[in-house]
Chains A and B, each alone.
Chain A
């Protein structure tokens, strides 16, 4: 079915591959920046990842205005204002975020304050409340999963109310995303697996939900292929540089796909499993994905069947009759989960997380109905259906 209408936008320059970090000084200078503030977290810094970047910059005589390393896993307005103050004190002229989702979201919000002035982050919350470009903004991801380096969204907790405030604007997109295998090489297998399964879910949902379009499809399918071909290899051999780079690129490509085509029911349910039981996001995605695909079969069998080519390769795809491809694609995702489990014990079910109780499920199902990701799922799940999926996944 052809798409009646779609939009696609990704102005992020991707700088990817071996020795990519050494391109950072040139990219900074080409954006008129000579004094960047690095925003990161203590974990990232303690394993020496920030040093890789600063050394490459030192060698090109680029000094940094400072390193802000106090981003917590669940960032909030006070962190953002504190970091913005530090940026101003240090006279920085641009931002380099080095980290995962929370660091990148924080850096996006800091960029709002340091570009627009003031300390009132809330004034910019919501959609379309930024009207002009912000300071030069570079992102160097240290996980291969969230895709935040290519998304126009930041979510920050409001310290006053405890609610999560979204910020949505094209101006939040980074200018440059730098993918260097050195940055993900030391990621432990379990986190590698969870973040890769998040990226796989981004690609699968972008490809199977209502806002899919031909351009985002091409990013999504390429990402799915890279993850299916490389995840198990990387888990077996964590120092596999090529495989690491493939996963990092896949996460970015999946990020481009879902920032244009959005996600669906896996995320609607997973966000709330995370909120209620504090299970890491990628773990939720990995657990729920096959069950939700089965639920979506009724509306999307052909599209899910198309995934098989990218999940299993042309030989398998050609050998399976078209009427069975969708089931086979889901089976293939289950196989991946089993392989990943045997290597690093990534939970396969909600009960295996040890954090979710059966009695939590009704609450999670109820909350999921109000999750915006539900809007673009091919089928609007009812409360009963959402609960049924969670029970299957338990």
Chain B
């Protein structure tokens, strides 16, 4: 480890809401270190505690236990307005009674900067998100995408060390979302700011992030680069949540052998006790159509995508199997095929 403090350190943080019988534990013993200038993503299904963790960092909620450091300084007892982070809210939360320019200047005006400097920096921030032309409008006169940009400019204008973004793109349509993803990434690189980004869209997380924390039920299940998370998921849940994957149930039949429920026996599961129930996972693009392959299957659906072909197969026990192959590999629907499962592409999870 280098000696420079991380942009954000979250140490053994727990948080519950409610009291007595109605108490719900939302975060349990969460720890994470986020590096300076990192694009860090909190990814997980609805209700897993992503927003709560973000709000704890911003200071809108109080910790039950643990501590949070920003730039090496403990901030647990500081109110939001004393923390060097800014938030882009999911609902944008633009001030409806102020113009776009006044919204962006809000924090700058509170920093005792000279008037000209406030105007210059607000203008700069608006240019950064290409909203300079609409500076005189009220938020109600903007489209969703434009509001999103203003929210971003407003949070960037005071040059925070860390920007917290709570599903900032979720209200946008697909096309705009893709465009904004690219812009966000460029903006982050240009401004040199640490981003803590919340999403439940795994594709968005994989595209944007330097590192991802996959959360479930108030815990971080796995922390790693998009590649690590995609290729070496540490939990069945992570494997299932990120990208598409085939999950085959089976039982360890002997040393390094698994008998799948569909009947096939494959080499996998070394280190698991014989008789244990396991789940074998393989990505659709890692399985291969090979004559003499270990899985017998029937083709139920073929989708030609131009760059690849996606095949829906049915295994001997009736279970589905997804396979992605080169575009010219087009078997007939109803035809019988054999599938090979390369052992380096397999991942085994205890059930």
Report whether chain A binds chain B: no
